A = this chain, B = another copy of it.
Amino acid sequence: MDVGFIGLGHMGQAMVRSLLRAGHFVTVWNRTREKAEPLREAGALIADKIGDVCRGDAVITMLADDQAVENVVCRPHGILDSLEPNKGIHISMSTISPLLVRNLTERHAERNYPFVSAPVLGRPDAAEQGKLFVVAAGDRDSIDFVQPIFDAIGQRTFVISETPETANLVKLSVNAMIATAIEAIGETLALVTKSGDVDPKAYIDVLLSTALGTPLYRPYGENVVNRSFKPEFPIPLALKDMRLTLDAGMERDVPLPIVSLIRDHLLEAIAAGDGGCDWSALALVPQREAGIEQPA
């Protein structure tokens, strides 16, 4: 298929490479053009303006936050100005607020632009290998039409509903599940190891072989036990996601006490100076609260 792609962060670059490897024709655009250059030799075409990535079968946005997406979509000569009715499908794959997705859904519908929300689960290495999970919501025909794109980047597609914003609710919820697990690892690790009798590795080994014995949880358990917090998904991004989740809850009158607790602990992590760490470092907060000394 002929695919436009906007947003070349870690995830975006890896996804573009998976698309190219699967034989799709990909045109990319990025605010800072130099990020696009490495993709040229992988076979991507580099566009000078947004309009040039909106002419194919689909255009994917994979951007950092609501503001970036809103800017690319709504600015003059942005996506809304460049699509044509009932033609190229805009696939929003960014982790953004359900509220913004609802607004985008309306604005696309007014112009008869097909619109699908399809955030992804997985880390950059999964993106590189085409092993993401795709959580899609929107018009069923549109989703069927772009399935080859999802197949190129993901190992499986979950179709959630016909309401695009629900895909973002699910994506945020899975991130909240993961953060819950990291926090619970941290709490129980403090409990088990404070006396000094138990090697943290022994406890994490139990977890990774039982409750957390799934590929999605595994890296967090390993990071904690190896004290390796290189920021694949840094704490401020995790905080953004918890904030989006709480806002979505507020909009629907859904209390989310565990997510509130995690929000507070992420702030505590930042206040303690761990803002540059991977969100696995959330597990250090309960250690500190328990008075367990932390080698820097």
Contacts and interface: CB of A to CB of B under 8 A. Distances in A.
Interface of A: 121, 133, 135, 156, 158-163, 166, 169-170, 172-174, 176-178, 180-181, 183-185, 187-192, 194-195, 197-199, 202-203, 205-207, 209-217, 239, 243, 245, 248-250, 252-261, 263-265, 267-268, 270-273, 286, 289-291
Nearest to A158: B206
Contacts of A212: 177, 214
A38 to B, nearest CB: 29
Contacts of A188: 173-174, 176-177
Nearest to A271: B291
28 contacts: A135-B206, A158-B205, A160-B198, A161-B197, A161-B198, A166-B198, A170-B206, A174-B206, A174-B210, A176-B184, A177-B181, A177-B188, A177-B207, A180-B183, A210-B216, A211-B214, A253-B267, A253-B268, A253-B270, A253-B290, A253-B291, A254-B286, A254-B290, A255-B289, A255-B290, A256-B264, A257-B261, A260-B264
Nearest to A250: B267
Contact of A197 (B163, B174, B250, B254): B163
Main secondary structure of the interface of A (DSSP, over half): helix
A216 B248 CA distance: 30
Number of copies: 4
Nearest to A186: B258
B258 A260 contact: no
A205 B159 CA distance: 10
Contacts of A239: 250
